[in-house]
Amino acid sequence: MFSLKNKVAIITGGGSGIGKAICKVFAQQGSTVCIVDFDETTGKTTQDEIQADGGLATFYKCDVSNQQQVAAVVKNIITDHKQINILINNAGVAQVGNVENTSEADMDRLYSINIKGVYNWMQSIIPILKDGGGGSIVNMASVASSVGISDRFAYSMTKAAVVGMTLSVAKDYIHQNIRCNCISPGRVHTPFVDGFISKNYPGQETEMFEKLSKTQPIGRMGQPTEIAYLALYLCADEAAFVTGCDYPIDGGFIKLNN
């Protein structure tokens, strides 16, 4: 069940956090994993850990906001592995601020990675999926695309765009056997979250971690592997009837925070 054997999967932002967990789970299920990350150190570490466990993984350095780099990496992946079956658009960045204190530079940075990066990869991969008879795309959105979160103006904007792109692609390519869904995690405990808290709340790390954990009605943050298992389902043949959906995985954040 949920086998990815003989499938080649691309995971952007695969060097750490949720992306790394997806890489490892997919490799365990038999997929050839293409780890895409801007950070060469973390990307190669993920590759080495998967290979040490007997999995198949190759690291590719790429700036997802650079369309030429994305196209070049896709070409290299096809040369190396002959096919592509799965794309996970996981790479992303966050920013704290409301509309007044979000700078133009902040907006441009989040747009270029969180929106343009998703567009770049889907534009490059979809022709390959069409030629190969179909495939699965999963884009990483956020609960911030569904509910108002204080001081997340630019981030919420980008994640709402991810949901919109997901629905559009699902509609446009449904008859080419390309399924496109997105996942909207609540707060997940990753190195990114630890760094975010340290940067924005110095000296209050423990207090803020507990506060952010308790915003989920379930009383804790999610674990990266919990998100990875949902991604696995959406990319497996068992989910062949699922497309055009946004899946919250948030400890009750959206529906139960009354």
Contact 251, 227 (CB under 8 A): no
Contact 156, 198 (CB under 8 A): no
* Distance (Å, whole) CA 183 – CA 125: 19
Q: What would the two tokens of residue 77 be?
A: 């992946």
Tell how far CA 47 is from the center of its chain: 17
Ramachandran category for residue 98: left, alpha or beta (phi over 0 → left; psi -120 to 50 → alpha):
beta
Choose among 33, 29, 63, 61: nearest CA to 47.
Answer: 33
* Distance (Å, whole) CA 234 – CA 135: 11
**Among 60, 155, 173, 247, the one annotated catalytic:** 155
Beta bridge partners of 188: 222
SS3 188: strand
Cβ-Cβ contacts under 8 Å for 174 (sequence gap 6 or more): 243, 244
Strands (E), the chain: 8-12, 32-37, 56-61, 86-89, 135-140, 178-185, 246-249
Catalytic annotation on 201?
no
Q: What would the two tokens of residue 72 be?
A: 């070049």
| Catalytic sites, residue numbers | 155
